[in-house]
Amino acid sequence: MTNAQNQDPATKQDLADLEERLEKKITTAIQKSKRQLKKELVHEFKVINEKLVHDFNGAHKDKIGVLEDNVEDHGQRITHLEVVTGLARASR
């Protein structure tokens, strides 16, 4: 029955039933919102994780490149110093 057809006053049971239906709807909406929020948060964490891994891998490669450059430079400098000081001839 619609509100216009039923003019009887609401009983305590009617109010209790209405309260129960509203509570169920609100609980369902909250649970749905929580699930959606969890999905969004997990997705954001995965995106952030992927970006961090990419950044760290790039930084690691840069560090290795710098270290390799330094090792090559040191090797050339040491060889040059050995030749200039005569140590290269003495070690042979």
> What is the pTM assigned to this prediction?
0.49
Cα–Cα distance, 74 to 87 (Å, whole number): 16
Cα–Cα distance, 16 to 64 (Å, whole number): 71
Mean pLDDT of 27-50: 96
Q: Is residue 60 part of a domain?
A: yes
Tokens for 39?
């999905």
Q: Is residue 55 part of a domain?
A: yes
Reported as a single tens digit per residue, the pLDDT across 39-76 is: 999 999 999 999 999 988 888 877 776 666 666 667 77
Tokens for 31?
């649970």
> What is the domain extent for residue 19?
12-90
Q: Is residue 82 part of a domain?
A: yes
Q: Is residue 5 part of a domain?
A: no
The alpha carbon of 85 is separated from its chain's Cα centroid by a whole number of angstroms, namely 56
- DSSP track, 44-73: HHHHHHHHHHHHHHHHHHHHHHHHHHHHHH
Domain count, the chain: 1
Q: Is residue 70 part of a domain?
A: yes
Q: Is residue 25 part of a domain?
A: yes
Q: Is residue 64 part of a domain?
A: yes
